[in-house]
Amino acid sequence: MPPSYFEDPAPGRGSLAPRAAFASDARAVSLNGTWRFHLSPSLAAAPEGMHAEDFDDRAWDTLPVPAHWQLHGHGKPAYTNVHYPFPVQPPEVPSDNPTGDHRLTFDLPADWPDEPAVLRFDGIDSCGRVWLNGSELGVTKGSRLPSEFAAGHLLRPRGNVLAVRVHQWSAGSYLEDQDMWWLSGIFRDVTLLSRPSGGVADYQLHAGYDHVTGEGALSVTAADGVLLSVPALGVEDLPAGETVRLPVEPWSAESPRLYAGVVHTAAERVPVRIGFRTVVIADGQLKVNGAPVLFRGVNRHEHHPESGRALPRESALADIELMKRHNVNAVRTSHYPPDPYFLELCDVHGLWVIDESDLETHGFGDLGWAGNPSDDPQWTDAYLDRMRRTVERDKNHPSIVLWSLGNEAQTGRNLAAAARWTRERDPSRPVHYEGDFECEYVDVYSRMYADHEEVDRIGRQEDPNARRRAMPFLLCEFGHAMGNGPGGLLEYRELFERYPRCQGGFVWEWIDHGLTRLDAEGRAYFAYGGDFGEQIHDGNFVIDGVLHPDRTPSPGLVEFAKVFEPVRITATAGGIRVANHYDFLSLEHLSFSWAYEEDGVAVASGDLAVPSVHPGQSAEVPLPPLPDVTGEGWLTVRATLPEATAWAPAGHVVAWGQLPVVPAPLPPTAATGAALRFEGAELHLGAGTFDAATGLLTTLGGHRVHGPRLDLWRAPTDNDRGSAPSEESQWRAAGLHRLQHRVAAVKRREAELVVRTRVAPPGLGFGLLADYHWTADAGRLRLRVEVEPDGEWPCTLPRLGLRMAVPGSFGAVAWFGAGPGEAYADSRQAARVGRFARSVEELQTPYVYPQENGNRTDTRWLRLTSADGAGIRIDGEPLFDFSARRWTSEELDAARHTVDLEPGELLHLNLDLAQHGLGTASCGPGVLPQYRLHAQKAGFTLTFTTVDGPA
């Protein structure tokens, strides 16, 4: 049997040749809106004759276009990362193939011209068959690619009937195995465009920049008779094919200078924005306008928690603003061309873009790549068609500096052919594809998730492959941001800055693809794989962005912003070093200010004069005059935007640095001297009451507490769960989640209460000896904990510290330490020393899949109080980490969604000497050696005092 059209590996049929996306003064009407919709479980079950003009669709549902039907109550979303959710027998797809019939009746505007017209679909997932007024226009595949059909001959002023039959599965699905939700439908704009005879059918702008002469070379390739005018450059009616050279300001992601122009004929005018830049590979580096660039990038899927890949324009703009504000300078459009609006924003606001074709065949990996379309001639046309539609649509964007053939499709002749075609069609941009491991047909060497050591080897030119050695190197994916993390970004930056060929990377990924759902009680949460009853799915692997699904930045993005800030402010022996890490800008567009704090309280501030510093250079400026302080003195220097830009308000902090000026004074003398009294089952020492049998603190200044005792457990993070054998599996095998505390002795040593314990897992021989030494004076209760491993420890420790429970009313938290956000050993650059106040609720990071979060580091003191101001204060000697939550680590560990976490009556505090780092083992390297926590002899001291409320 010949394959049906949707099972044909070839591209669709009937569509017009791909061309640039543009809007002109020719008439256009949006056909977005409310359509009639009917979903059938299969083609066989779909209504006959739905394309006919007189088909009666009055009983059908309605559906907004653009949309995914699964997000409007028809069918269900499904998530897989690698596996195809259907048997792999290309190009066959299941006969149970959900089929969505869409119909729209529309009139033309009264003044619609009598000219040719095209119907344009910006995205249909995965295969659409289109009829207008009963006649078939054709079939489109390539979900995230546009298709246009000639329609003028069929149009009439009133009562046009557009019918589109969309199949969830098609041969194209084999090429669309990206790590994301399977979501179907007409999910991007539908437009009817008048195409005036003698208009601008298509055009390609060329706007190169010669950084030596400062001249731009401007031309347009188009049909004869097409002209280009750029008033600001005095260019008037430049004929297609002719080049002018003239002095211009170049375009860069840092300084996105665009010139407004118009490509025109007598019949049509197309407003264009021209950015002058030249991309070359020279000396093993990718250079734009003569300068090597460092990609501080992210991989961006299009996602909205309610509308999926039907992304509202506001969300695209929000993405751009959030990227720019967090020092992201590059985007890889993983793994398909984005909605065209996003690229317009990239041109305007300034981002380097790798534009990627809509292609991934990852699921063939499960079959050892047998039958992979990438090397099968019956798919060549489809590969070329996808690349052509990408390049033709997007060729006029200055922001795009690399074309990417796709993702995770192994290697093969079809990819090589796509590379060849691309290079010939557009020699002005290099070609990227990570899966060409030997770099046979690409221009840059790209890897994903290479660990620091590998990047270091590449940087040292130790790669045995000479082709690769000669190319610029980038990490198309790194820093897997699943759950709490990524850890280790700083060390990647150091490598990118050490080796000229290592030109940065793209964090995986921009946003968590959680979908909003309501639980039985009507509380909203974000769903992930498996939540829709999928038989095969990849759980929360789709929750791995630096934005939560609602576009709240996660701590990972805040860390990214700090690690990759374009200005670095550090201490020198006697002053302040300001280093310019921009690729093009000097520092003149920034204002510098300083603030001096004593023990976290502002004492002085002012402006800082910083001379002009060229990219790659630094300047040393003297310290401002600072008042004498007796407490701990920190100077914070900030680089801010003096004026609002298109992407941030005036005052936005681009970079900051902190310099220690006066060290912390010596800690006050130890609390001691208060008498220790045994009273029946209780023990009294200063403000504390203890259980005489367990040695646990039971009240503190009259507040009920449940004594601090040793704690090694944390609710595993996604990264703890990654890579076999995972840290989590080792921790569980070592019983760290169910330690037993044996009290060996509770005894008095002069005025000191000594509690000797051994903390160990059931069934195993090793443990930790933990001694608690309590002393007190009139107001303070001091605890010194000494730990020592007993026997051989087989694994790292999640944490080393104390946990205690305090009254739930102590919900107001203030501290002097690092903040305001959470921080971990290998993700702590964004935390600065200061005084902060948060509610317990605000201290939580609501990771979509609950896990360890909210740790604050370098705490000098911590205060927890209730509404009346009464509570406790804990001082470190000198520093500790803390977290505070209304549930236990065990409850956090057991939760699967945010709504599973129910606040209890107590507040659970962790007071830690240290925690194990985060790493990125959920996909990539684990925790670097220097951030791993081992069982070791250690001691630390905390002093507890009570805080009185107003009398």
Active site members: 408, 477
Provide φ and ψ at 767, rounded to 5°.
-170, -170
Residue 858 makes contact with ligand IPT by CB under 6 A? no
Which positions ≥6 away from 843 have C-beta within 8 Å? 813, 822, 854, 856, 883, 884, 885
Cis peptide before 761 (omega within 30 of 0): no
Residue nearest to ligand IPT (CB): 179
Helical segments of 821-924, H only: 889-894
Which structure tokens are listed for 923? 């996909």
- Percentage helix, strand, coil, to 5, in the chain? 15, 40, 45
Can you say whether residue 881 is alpha, beta or left, with left for phi > 0 and alpha for psi between -120 and 50 degrees? beta
Pick one of 148, 408, 463, 583: the residue that binds ligand IPT (CB under 6 A).
408
- 747-755, Cβ contacts within 8 angstroms, sequence gap of 24 or more: 748/676, 748/678, 751/672, 751/673, 751/674, 751/675, 751/676, 751/775, 751/776, 752/672, 752/676, 753/676, 753/683, 753/685, 753/690, 753/695, 755/694, 755/695
Cβ proximity to ligand IPT, 104 vs 359, nearer residue: 359
Amino acid symbol at 904: G
Number of residues that bind ligand IPT (CB under 6 A): 12
Cβ proximity to ligand IPT, 127 vs 923, nearer residue: 923
Cβ proximity to ligand IPT, 288 vs 359, nearer residue: 359
Site for ligand IPT in 502-561 (CB under 6 A): 508, 541, 544
Cis peptide before 340 (omega within 30 of 0): no
- Residue 188 beta carbon to ligand IPT: minimum distance, rounded to whole angstroms: 21
Cβ proximity to ligand IPT, 421 vs 449, nearer residue: 449
* Contact by Cβ (8 Å): 812, 866: yes
Cβ proximity to ligand IPT, 483 vs 624, nearer residue: 483
Q: Which of 449, 445, 420 is nearest to 434 (CA)?
A: 445
- Residue 822 beta carbon to ligand IPT: minimum distance, rounded to whole angstroms: 22
Residue 372 makes contact with ligand IPT by CB under 6 A? no
- Residue 541 beta carbon to ligand IPT: minimum distance, rounded to whole angstroms: 6
Exposure string (b/e) for 335-351, b if CB count within 10 Å is 16 or more? bbbbbbbbbbbbbbbbb
* Contact by Cβ (8 Å): 325, 561: yes
- Residue 528 beta carbon to ligand IPT: minimum distance, rounded to whole angstroms: 12
Residue 7 makes contact with ligand IPT by CB under 6 A? no
Which structure tokens are listed for 830? 């964004």
Helical segments of 862-933, H only: 889-894
CA distance 728 to 743: 27
Q: Which of 594, 623, 596, 590 is nearest to 607 (CA)?
A: 594
Which helix (H) or strand (E) segment holds residue 141: the answer is strand 135-141
Residue 449 makes contact with ligand IPT by CB under 6 A? yes
Which structure tokens are listed for 585? 């800008």
CA distance 127 to 165: 8
Q: Is 521 exposed, middle or buried (0-12, 13-18, 19+ CB in 10 A)?
A: exposed
Chain centre to alpha carbon of residue 407:
18
Cβ proximity to ligand IPT, 268 vs 434, nearer residue: 434
* Contact by Cβ (8 Å): 825, 719: no
Residue 55 CA neighbour count, 13 Å, CB half: 26
- Residue 889 beta carbon to ligand IPT: minimum distance, rounded to whole angstroms: 26
Pick one of 268, 358, 463, 477: the residue that binds ligand IPT (CB under 6 A).
477
Cβ proximity to ligand IPT, 448 vs 696, nearer residue: 448
Cβ proximity to ligand IPT, 480 vs 684, nearer residue: 480
- Residue 617 beta carbon to ligand IPT: minimum distance, rounded to whole angstroms: 37
Which positions ≥6 away from 444 have C-beta within 8 Å? 281, 286, 402, 430, 431, 432, 471, 472, 473, 474
Q: Is 114 in a helix, a strand, or coil?
A: coil
Pick one of 81, 315, 390, 484: the residue that binds ligand IPT (CB under 6 A).
81
Which structure tokens are listed for 406? 């796709």
Residue 179 makes contact with ligand IPT by CB under 6 A? yes
Site for ligand IPT in 40-69 (CB under 6 A): none
Residue 923 makes contact with ligand IPT by CB under 6 A? yes
CA distance 480 to 448: 10
- Residue 380 beta carbon to ligand IPT: minimum distance, rounded to whole angstroms: 23
Cis peptide before 916 (omega within 30 of 0): no
Cβ proximity to ligand IPT, 408 vs 463, nearer residue: 408
- Residue 235 beta carbon to ligand IPT: minimum distance, rounded to whole angstroms: 42
Q: What is the 3-state secondary structure (H, E, C) of 242-287?
A: CCEEEECCCECCCCECCEEEEEECCCCEEEEEECCCCEEEECCEEE
Cβ proximity to ligand IPT, 336 vs 564, nearer residue: 336
Cβ proximity to ligand IPT, 477 vs 597, nearer residue: 477
- Residue 897 beta carbon to ligand IPT: minimum distance, rounded to whole angstroms: 20
* Contact by Cβ (8 Å): 639, 579: no
Residue 357 makes contact with ligand IPT by CB under 6 A? no
* Contact by Cβ (8 Å): 208, 428: yes
Cβ proximity to ligand IPT, 536 vs 744, nearer residue: 536
Amino acid symbol at 120: R
- Residue 722 beta carbon to ligand IPT: minimum distance, rounded to whole angstroms: 10
Cβ proximity to ligand IPT, 338 vs 761, nearer residue: 338
Residue 689 CA neighbour count, 13 Å, CB half: 12
Pick one of 21, 448, 585, 862: the residue that binds ligand IPT (CB under 6 A).
448
CA distance 879 to 324: 34
Residue 407 makes contact with ligand IPT by CB under 6 A? yes
Binding site for ligand IPT (CB under 6 A): 81, 179, 407-408, 448-449, 477, 480, 508, 541, 544, 923
